[in-house]
Amino acid sequence: MNILFFLKPKANIDFLYSDFTIRQALEKMEEHKYQVLPIIDRNGDYFGSISSSDILFAIKKEPNFDIKLAEKKKLLEVERTRSYQAINVNKDINELIKVSLEQNFVPVVDDRNKFIGIVTRKDIIVSFLKTNVKDNGGTK
């Protein structure tokens, strides 16, 4: 099975640009109720992912944090506690499953490190269940 079978394309998901400020990131996370989002630059290169916890910890470290600082501080200045490993679209499904065990979504990049979308752990599990579980709840 091909990774593209599971891919949610970049055009259909939310992400953050690397030049966004903390405020822009928080607004997008709040609007869409996300806890973690991928970060890409304006050329489409994948930079990593950031969580609302990462932003919260950055705010906590600033003694006089206010909205003006949130509008100035760039997202890439925030220390990230986890690295959401991206996978190349040409990798096999076993590698995708292995990476998905450690993160709730897997960013997918092409051969030039251009972000093309994500694969969610949920989609992998749902596909597995459809393939391996009969309607009566038993296994094949």
Domain ranges of the chain: 3-132
Q: Which strands make up the sheet holding 46-51, listed edge to edge?
A: 16-17, 36-40, 46-51
Q: What is the CATH number of domain 3-132?
A: 3.10.580.10
Average pLDDT over residues 84-102: 94
Q: What's the predicted TM-score (pTM) here?
A: 0.86
Average pLDDT over residues 42-65: 91
| Upper half-sphere CA count for residue 98 (Cβ side, 13 Å) | 7
139 φψ region: left (φ > 0), alpha (ψ -120 to 50), beta (else)? beta
Q: List % helix, strand, coil for the chain (3-state, nearest 5).
A: 40, 25, 35
CA distance 61 to 134: 52
Does pLDDT of 139 surpass 60? Answer: no
More confident residue, 58 or 139: 58
What is the model's pLDDT at position 62? Answer: 84
Q: Percentage of the chain with pLDDT > 90?
A: 73
